[in-house]
Amino acid sequence: MSQPTQYDMALMLESAGDFRQAFKIFKLLLCSDDHDRGDILFHCGWCLENDPSAENQCALPYYREAANTTANSVCRMNSLFRVGWLLMHEKNYHLAGMFFKEALAMHQCQQVHDGLYHEALYWYAVCL
């Protein structure tokens, strides 16, 4: 049986809720070209957002860069949603709404992910 890759190890740690350790591995993977950079950036943001010892807002630059660099449309839409979510919780409703709206527009051009679409639609309406 083969050894799990660093990426697989990071995903396992993330799934187990060990966000700090998963973040360290994902951060190292940013130096590699083996995976979609946007996907790795998204996971970095997710780990920071969910690590109780980290500031949620530290995830914003990772999510923003993920949205701009990923080749995966679901990752892009999810990154836009996460930025909107974090900004909304900072009571920056106008800017949060802009990110939710961008996620909605993306889905309207190409059916990306219905669940994310409905979540973005609901929270966009809340931000209005």
Contact 123, 82 (CB under 8 A): no
**Tell me, what's the pLDDT at 111?**
85
Written as one string, the DSSP assignment of 32-94 is -SSS-HHHHHHHHHHHHHH-TTS-GGGGHHHHHHHHHH-S-HHHHHHHHHHHHHHHHHTT-HH
**Tell me, what's the pLDDT at 67?**
98
The CATH code that applies to domain 6-127 is 1.25.40.10
Contact 47, 22 (CB under 8 A): yes
Tokens 């998963």 — which residue? 22
What is the pTM assigned to this prediction? 0.94
Confidence of residue 9 (pLDDT cuts 50, 70, 90): very high
**Tell me, what's the pLDDT at 19?**
98
CA distance 120 to 114: 10
The pLDDT tens digits for 39-76 are 999 999 999 999 999 998 999 999 999 999 999 999 99
Give Cα 115 to chain centroid, integer Å.
Answer: 15
Contact 41, 66 (CB under 8 A): yes
CA distance 80 to 99: 6
Confidence of residue 108 (pLDDT cuts 50, 70, 90): confident
Domain ranges of the chain: 6-127
